[in-house]
Amino acid sequence: MRPNYHYAPASNWLSDPNGLVHHKGEWHLFYQYNPHGEDWGHMSWGHAISPDLCEWQEQPPALLEDDRFMIFSGSAVCDAQGTAGFGKDALVAVYTGAQLGPDPLQAQCLAWSNDAGRSWEKYAGNPVLDLGMADFRDPNVFWHEPTRRWIMVVVLSNEQRALIYASHDLKQWDEMSVIHTAGAPGEVWECPLLIELPVEGTDETRWLFKVDVLRGAPGSGALYQTGSFDGIRFIPDGPSLEPHWQVADMGSDFYAAIAWHEPRDASGRPVWIGWMGNHAYQGQLPKQGWRGAMSLPRRISLRRDAGRYVLRQEAEPAAVRGVAALPCTDGPVPASARIDLPASGDFALTLADRDQRLLQVERQGTALVMQRRDPVSPCLDNEQVFTAPPGAALTLWLDHGSAELFAADGLVCATMQHRMASNELTLSLRVKAEA
């Protein structure tokens, strides 16, 4: 049941994407990885490289745990001017070193590569940012050209706050400001992202702050605000642009998404990618030699809609080239395909296999219901209810083990993994038109 057009490792556990950087024509995807098995543990950075966001070549693990730290989530940047002292054009990883046990500690560390990411050396002066805390993690780092310095946004997970730091050399960091909870639902913040995005149809840009909430948030737990950023503080839009917090993906399996800050397409849109998984049940899934896959890479932008800025997501065209488009009619379907759902009217679409696993998408007026049932792995049973305009065309990107639903305008996305049998003869498609 390996995916056809989504990235998954050859073996072992995969989760959060890390260190997304484009360098010398290559897209680098690092990710949380257990080199020793399919369960969470021994966290290190796996590594894959692509020339086009479609074909991925898995590399040996980039950063391995050591006697002191596991390698938790973080960023990678191209230090073109050699500000950190590791050489011009060095790749620099900024990650959380996590010390478990009776004296838990999370602190921010560096590693660098001078051979296009093929080998890495950890900085002898690690950690470079240490507050003496057990829950201080997931640095997202980027170059801020207006202030000519590096910016880091990192979360105090259990306090549900984010801190913004600045640095001229990636080693010495000064705290600039705080991003507060501001009524965000759920608890335990992880994997922040702060990035400038174009507003479609205008010359305007706004900044997006995204954070993943481990428990208690709607959808996949990926929440975002829009606002402004001056190199010191992020100021959320509002109060006229309520609600402050919006949901990036209404399924149950789009988590820890971060972006390649550069390069961007002709419309100024960067690419982001998320883990198609959920810590609530991922470790309960049957073993199959590997566990975990990435979402489709998605181009992201903002659109002004009903008095607020809304995230727009579109599957990266290169990543889905060659995926077969199927008519939305009853009958067998392959496990990997594009299915265009009815653009008008109520409907119920059901995908099922011989073991009565099913995935259903149903539209009733403005309500969309995405439901997953799995009698073999009941931990996957899930139902998500959200809204979309009644006339919105919908596309379901179906692959071995996953389904990603996109509205045509890109303002609604929902991602769910599944365990339906991958043999195309065991899948069926049912569509029912409603009055």
CB 224 within 8 A of CB 257: no
Cβ distance 427 to 350 under 8 Å? no
Count of other CB atoms within 10 angstroms of residue 411 = 16
What are the residues facing 162 on neighbouring strands?
155, 179
Rg value, the chain, Cα: 21
Return the structure tokens found at 152: 């880091």
The phi and psi torsions of 256 (rounded to 5 degrees) equal 65, 25
C-alpha neighbours within 13 Å on the C-beta side of residue 306: 6
Do 393 and 328 form a contact (C-beta atoms < 8 A)?
no
Residue 258's closest CA among 31, 84, 100?
31
**The two three-digit tokens of residue 330, written as one number:** 């009853």
Helix (H, G, I), strand (E, B) or coil at 233: coil
Structure token pair of residue 48? 């894959």
Residue with tokens 């996305």: 413
Q: Please tell me the distance from the alpha carbon of residue 280 to that of residue 273, in angstroms, as a whole number.
A: 20
C-alpha to C-alpha distance for 380 and 344, rounded to whole angstroms: 30
125-150 burial code (b ≥16 CB/10 A, e <16): ebbbbebeeebbbbbbbbbbeeeebb
- 3-class DSSP assignment, residue 224: strand
**Three-state secondary structure call for residue 424:** helix
305 classed as catalytic: no
Of the candidates 16, 212, 253, 353, the residue annotated as catalytic is: 16
Determine the Cα angle at 64 with ends 61 and 68, to 5°: 175
Answer whether 5's CB lies under 8 Å from 323's CB.
Answer: yes
Residue 234 has which token pair?
A: 């992020």
Outline where DSSP puts E strands in 320-365. Answer: 325-326, 331-332, 337-341, 347-352, 358-364
Find out whether 388 and 366 touch, Cβ atoms under 8 Å.
yes
- Residues serving a catalytic function are 16
